Amino acid sequence: MNKLILTGAMAAMLTAALPAAARDTVHFLPIEAALDANDARNRLGDNIKFYFGDQKTPAIGSRLGSDKTSQKTNSFGKDAVTACNWAFLSAMLRLQARAQELGANAVINIVSNYKNIERSSTTEFECHDGAIMTGVALKADFVKTK
């Protein structure tokens, strides 16, 4: 009987702990601060220009396609902002690589796209921070400007 009570108590404790392990905190963080972190501006260079949300862009010469990326980083032992900035940089580097593959010189209409739900902003990106992983999902269009 004592084993049954002990087993029941342990199961209840584990069930209560599961939501903590499945943490998914949504953050809306400044794009400029993320670009200032982790040497992001230097790593992205200036060969390809990036335009967020409905930012005004130079005249478009040709549209080369659209794509989306979802990048994650290990969040263990990192504060949310640090982890989010790393995931943001990874997503931006992926957009940059895709632009290079397509021959684009600009990435426009960059929006957050977590779980395929678009959120457009010229100043913030959406990040989901969990107990173990942190993720940023972006969607964008690739163009050649005139």
Q: What is the pLDDT of residues 92-107, one digit of tens each?
A: 999 999 999 999 999 9
Whether 65 shows a pLDDT value over 80: the answer reads yes
The mean pLDDT value for 51-63 works out to: 98
CB atoms within 10 A of CB 120: 14
CA dist 140 and 108 (Å) reads: 6
Q: What is the mean pLDDT of residues 49-62?
A: 98
The average confidence (pLDDT) of the chain is 90
Task: Please enumerate in sequence order all residues whose Cβ is within 8 A of that of 136, keeping only pairs 6 or more positions apart, or say none.
Answer: 70, 71, 84, 87, 88, 90, 91, 112, 114, 125, 126, 127, 128
Q: What is the pLDDT of residue 16?
A: 45
Domains and CATH numbers, the chain: 24-145 (3.30.110.70)
Q: What is the mean pLDDT of residues 60-83?
A: 96
Kindly state the percentage of the chain with pLDDT values over 70. Answer: 85
Cα(48)–Cα(34) distance, integer angstroms: 17
Using 50, 70 and 90 to split pLDDT, how confident is the model at 69?
A: very high
Strand ranges, E, within 6-55: 24-30, 49-52
Whole-number percent of the chain with pLDDT over 90: 82
The model's pTM: 0.84
Residue 23, pLDDT score = 85
pLDDT at 11 exceeding the cut of 70:
no
